[in-house]
Amino acid sequence: MTLPDLTPAQRTDLELLARGKQDKSRTLRDLKLPETPQAAHTLLLRAGLWTEARTPYADRLGAALSALTLEVPPFVPAERLDLTQLDAYAIDDEGNRDPDDAVVAEALPDGGTRLWVHVADVAALVAPDSELDLEARARGATLYLPDRTVGMLPDALVEQAGLGLHPTTPALSISLDLDADGNADAVDVHLTTVRVSRLTYDQAQAALDAGQEPFVTLARLAAQSRALRESEGALSIDLPEVRVKASEEGAQVTPLPKPPMRAVVQECMTLAGWAAAIYADDHDLPLPFATQDAPHREVRGETLNAQWARRKTLARTRFQPAPGPHAGMGLDLYAQATSPMRRYLDLVVHQQLRAHLTGGSPLSGKEVAARVAQAQMNADATRTAERLSRKHHTLRFIAAQPERVWPAVVVERRGPQATLLIPELAFDVAVSTATPAGQEVQVQLTDVNLPDLSVRARVTG
């Protein structure tokens, strides 16, 4: 049987195996080929039934691929602290579609600074165990693929609750009162009404470079916070990052710019998570607290191979209903609290805080633990699907330029085998070479195999 002779039934048989919806294939068995998803994928490509743009990983892992279209309730009028007199900024990548956090620095009479981190009040629209909550829990997180985004929550909710999409917006706001050295004197959480402007990182960086407020103050607070966390053992890992975009026509991999304002915003989000955890602990409120064990060894240095080795010393972050230290962040307690549109456990944090603030009934520690178990399993599938899909389209980008030679760095050695990191692609490959760790080499990538997600590397100089 030649490939064009595949019947509709055989095509369906192959597609079900390639998508992970069955574990056997009579078609592959009849052709005396391995009954694996990779073999089915290969045959579908050779027959022209799938294009190279097709990625089956989310399907195989059971991640949701359809948009959520449940009805979204309106905001109910409620008592809120009016903070519209403060100019707040939602700072994100250009083209971001779900602005769920914003920052502002407020000068205090005693010379200190109040850092406000406003977060979209998603929990006002998504009650625990509602249809929206159950669907979000089943997804675990928004799925970001190179060719599309599949939201954890409906687009209509983002349109209603996103910060900076309307003149004023309801928010859940976390505040930290910081002294001149960046130490926190007090933390608090409020239901608020805020006024937010949207900026890209480049626009915010231009404002910082021009000495404009509140960006100068935010940068100072972030630097102080980072220094304090590093004094408590926080680890710094700076490895290349890229943006992968894809369509039927091809794929593009571009290095992700890292203006200083990106780190400033990240540090503000870290402070907000720390403050939310402190507030919850002070009020005996169970949250999905994020914890991490201390690294099993210390790695010094700022070279790429040192950064690579340092990352490998990190234990996985665990979520539990009682607080505990997060070693990698250098914090005694922490909770992810700034992305309730995109991460389910952030939404649980908000539901708990909101229940406390409004006199409702928060979930018990046992109920939080059950949500952690379910959401983590589903979010893990989402993150794995994202990683495999990015690798697939990165290989498409590589295959489109087979003669190109890529600068790489040897980041790890094990006997004759070395791991090379290609910074322009944020992509690593194994190769046999005697080149010492930390040294730069030139490498050519050939023989891309998309179904196997493999490529052959050859050191050229």
Indicate the angle between helix axes 365-399 and 344-357, nearest 10 degrees.
150
One-letter amino acid for residue 229 of the chain? R
For residue 287, which amino acid is it? Answer: L
pLDDT in tens, 97-113: 889 999 999 999 999 99
Domain at 3-50: CATH code: 1.10.10.10
Intervals of CATH 2.40.50.140 along the chain? 401-459
* Amino acid 95: pLDDT: 79
The total of other beta-carbon atoms located within 10 Å of residue 241's CB is 12
- Provide the token pair at 83: 């903070």
- Measure the CA–CA gap between 334 and 273, rounded to whole angstroms: 6
Class of domain 401-459: mainly beta
Q: Write the burial class of residue 413 (CB in 10 Å: 0-12 exposed, 13-18 middle, 19+ buried).
A: middle
Asked if pLDDT for residue 1 goes beyond 60, the answer is no
Residue 296 is predicted with a pLDDT of 84
Tokens of 429: 């490959």
**What confidence score (pLDDT) does residue 4 get?**
53
Q: Which of 159, 18, 61, 35 is nearest to 383 (CA)?
A: 61
pLDDT in tens, 408-453: 999 999 988 999 999 999 999 999 999 999 999 999 999 999 999 9
Do 55 and 393 form a contact (C-beta atoms < 8 A)? yes
For the cut 50, the answer to whether the pLDDT of residue 17 exceeds it is yes
Nearest 5°: phi and psi at 17? -70, -45
CA-to-CA separations, 93 to 30, 101, 182, 253, 363, in angstroms, rounded: 50, 13, 27, 16, 34
Residue 362, Cβ density class (10 Å: 0-12 exposed, 13-18 middle, ≥19 buried): buried
- pLDDT band for position 5 (50/70/90)? confident
Task: Report which of 415, 410, 414 is spatially closest to residue 442, judged by C-alpha positions.
Answer: 410
83 in helix, strand or coil? Answer: coil
Q: Give which of 52, 19, 53, 54 is closest to 37, Cα–Cα.
A: 19
272 Cβ neighbours under 8 A, 6+ residues apart: 101, 117, 119, 174, 176, 337, 338
> Could you give the CA distance from residue 130 to residue 134 in angstroms, rounded to a whole number?
6
Virtual torsion, Cα 456, 459, 460, 461, nearest 10 deg: 160
**Which residues of the chain are in CATH 1.10.10.10 domains?**
3-50
Structure tokens at 167: 């003149």
Q: Biggest alpha carbon distance in the chain? A: 83
Cα distance from N-terminal residue to C-terminal residue, the chain? 46
Spatial contact of 445 and 398, defined as CB atoms under 8 Å apart: yes
Between CA 373 and CA 382, with CA 378 as vertex, the angle to 5 degrees is: 145
Contact in structure between 13 and 25 (CB atoms under 8 Å): yes
Average pLDDT over residues 7-19: 95
Extract the tokens encoding 345.
């456990």
Residue 3 has pLDDT above 80, yes or no: no
Q: Could you tell me what percentage of the chain is helix, strand and coil, using 3-state DSSP and rounding each to the nearest 5?
A: 35, 25, 40
Q: Using CA atoms, how far apart are residues 355 and 348, in angstroms rounded to an integer?
A: 10
Is it the case that residue 461 has pLDDT exceeding 80? no
pLDDT digits (tens, 9 = 90+) for 236-278: 899 999 999 999 999 999 999 999 999 999 999 999 999 999 9
Matching residue, tokens 């190109």: 404
Residue 319 has pLDDT above 70, yes or no: yes
| Stretch 63-73: mean pLDDT | 94
pLDDT at 363 over 90: yes
Please write the tens of the pLDDT for every residue from 274-312: 999 999 999 999 999 999 999 988 898 999 999 999 999
Dihedral through CA 332, CA 335, CA 336, CA 337, nearest 10?
-120
